[in-house]
Amino acid sequence: MKLFVTGGAGFIGSNFVLYWMKKYPEDKIINFDKLTYAGNLENLKEVEKNPNYEFIQGDICNKRLVEDVTRGVDILVHFAAESHVDRSILDASPFIQTNIVGTHVLLESALKNKIPRFHHVSTDEVFGALPLSSTEKFTDSTPYNPHSPYSASKAASDHLVRAYGDTYGLQYTLSNCSNNFGPHHFPEKLIPLAITNIIEGKKVPIYGDGLYVRDWLYVLDHCEAIDAILKKGTVGKTYLVGGLTEDISNLEVIKKIIGLMGVDESVIEYVKDRPGHDRRYAIDWSMINKELGWSPKHSFESALSETVDWFKNNEEWWKRIKSGVYKDYYKTQYK
């Protein structure tokens, strides 16, 4: 079997490539990645010489190239996306281009090359926000209500995928996941930012009152969920993938990291809130559990401890990332 993975040098994509090649060593994977700021081939060193692995640098908006490299593919797994809300607020244009136009190019190529299966990886942020006081959770029937340019662009891509299924018979599946964390996480996101800043002796910035709630999903659990969807999922169906946390705030997450790293809470620095900041996300993943037998295996506490250890043991990896261009962005965002 041949898989074509977009964004396979990014955080979730690279973890998926490593997971798949370990579990299914006979399969072939083409990793197609533009190598923007978040793409890092160092994530894939352990498979770069594997004869069943091929890397192609390219833009999913390049129609001619995408059509050429997707010939003969059995499964297309689409991770590639601009994914950081803060960056979308500063400049939405790359999000419109990559997340909407790029997805359209992939869909057209999938039809032209008669790819048997198209899996689109999306986010719970397309559903908007839930009240802090509620026990409500997102389901596959929750209306879309995106609040940021990022989530709006992902919502548009979801709609395109479903439209291509309804109109042209595209054999697709779709998953909306909660916030991922784990090894190779780009260090501008909350958890790796906190860990690496503490190692560097810096403050840990937290927006507003810090009471924003996210449903945290360990990246390896996410990879297993996609595996289950590809192997057993129903074509034309959407699956919601979440973790084992129950309404844990960003402030609580930071305090857990502080406890694991043996520093005190004076490292926390409250900064001005960002516009349109969603208060609460929570995912009901009971449907994928009942239909496909998937459930997250890693508790938040154990996975967070493993993640802290990974960043402690891989300083060279993230220190290279937190230099240069990243510093300019960090200064702009957190002033």
Q: Which residues are catalytic?
A: 124-125, 150
The token pair at 226 is 């996609």
| Contact of 216 with 247, CB cutoff 8 Å | no
CA angle 123, 126, 131 (to 5 degrees): 105
Q: What is the DSSP track for 211-237? A: --EE-EEEHHHHHHHHHHHHHHPPTT-
What's the rounded Cα separation, in Å, for the pair 225 and 175? Answer: 9
CB atoms within 10 A of CB 68: 13
Indicate the helix (H) or strand (E) that contains 205.
Answer: strand 204-207
Indicate the helix (H) or strand (E) that contains 75.
Answer: strand 75-78
At 5, give phi and psi (nearest 5°).
-115, 120
Burial class (CB in 10 A: 0-12, 13-18, 19+), 108: middle
